[in-house]
């Protein structure tokens, strides 16, 4: 089924597949697409029948990043309004990236063709990245005299290390699928991109929903937290897990099987 014109929403078994749908402009992200993407992510998060999410792009590209026409309009704005308008727009971007990063189920970016600028940032916000053989990643902001505004400066160093992240951000050079896999920017390369991504997503999301959501929320804070904080979060999460139907059913099944 289709949710909207700009973001297609479908379900493959228990996996939500979101497809950016502006192929005529290489899935450049404008304000309308941002709003629809946020709504699609929230919809998938709220549906208990959905166990994971795959994000991809229709056409030949994953996403070319922010819509250049929006940048053109920004240049026309009165000088006194440029900064505040930009600040408000950044809030919209961060709302989408935050919803994707905080999604309580496994997420995979299935990157077809180019993922540039904000498109690369959004791919990085997912838990995992599967790249098509013709995928290309570029932190192209420097070529526009800008900095990453979609979380790339947070996510990229955690994936590939700080020095290598600096090199890609400072140069804005393109990284193909083979190199992306070698440096950890991508987790897998596939010739059957969405099919393989959906199959992996289904596998990743097949466990206890509560266990996965709680573990993900802690893992995503690991590098910012102390050992004591991670232990405390784990203790709280385990207490919640003790009360879930999945835990009780698995313990009872084990005890019944062993006769204990």
- What value does the CA radius of gyration of the chain take, rounded to a whole number of Å? 20
pLDDT score for 52: 98
Fold of 209-258: Lyase 2-enoyl-coa Hydratase; Chain  A, domain 2 (1.10.12)
Other residues' Cβ atoms within 10 Å of the Cβ of residue 49: 9
- In the chain, where does the domain assigned CATH 3.90.226.10 lie? 7-204
The DSSP result for 183-218, as a single string, is: HTS-SEEESSHHHHHHHHHHHHTSS-HHHHHHHHHH
**CATH number corresponding to 7-204:** 3.90.226.10
Average pLDDT of adjacent 10-residue blocks, the chain of 260 residues: 78 97 96 96 98 98 86 68 80 95 98 98 98 98 94 97 98 98 98 98 97 98 96 97 95 80
Residue 102: both structure tokens together? 């905080």
Strand runs (DSSP E) across the chain, as ranges? 7-12, 15-20, 52-57, 107-111, 114-116, 128-132, 136-138, 174-176, 188-190
């Amino acid at each position: 089924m289709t949710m909207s014109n700009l973001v297609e929403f479908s379900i493959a078994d228990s996996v939500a597949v979101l497809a950016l749908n502006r192929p005529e402009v290489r899935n450049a992200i404008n304000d309308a697409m941002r709003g629809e993407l946020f709504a699609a992510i929230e919809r998938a998060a709220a549906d208990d029948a959905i166990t994971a999410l795959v994000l991809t792009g229709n056409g030949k590209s994953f996403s070319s990043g922010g819509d250049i026409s929006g940048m053109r309009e920004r240049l026309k704005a009165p000088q006194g309004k440029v900064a505040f308008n930009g600040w408000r727009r950044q809030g919209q971007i961060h709302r989408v990236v935050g919803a994707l990063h905080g999604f309580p189920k496994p997420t995979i970016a299935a990157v077809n063709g180019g993922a540039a600028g904000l498109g690369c940032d959004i791919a990085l916000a997912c838990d995992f990245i599967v790249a098509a053989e013709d995928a290309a990643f570029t932190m192209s902001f420097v070529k526009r005299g800008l900095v990453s505004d979609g979380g790339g400066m947070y996510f990229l160093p955690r994936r590939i290390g700080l020095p290598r992240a600096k090199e890609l951000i400072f140069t804005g050079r393109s990284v193909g699928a083979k190199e992306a896999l070698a440096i950890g920017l991508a987790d897998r390369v596939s010739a059957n991109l969405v099919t393989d991504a959906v199959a992996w997503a289904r596998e990743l999301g097949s466990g206890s929903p509560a266990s996965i959501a709680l573990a993900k929320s802690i893992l995503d804070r690991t590098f910012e937290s102390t050992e004591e904080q991670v232990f405390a979060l784990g203790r709280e999460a385990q207490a919640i897990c003790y009360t879930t139907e999945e835990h009780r059913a698995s313990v009872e099944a084990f005890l019944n099987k062993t006769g204990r």
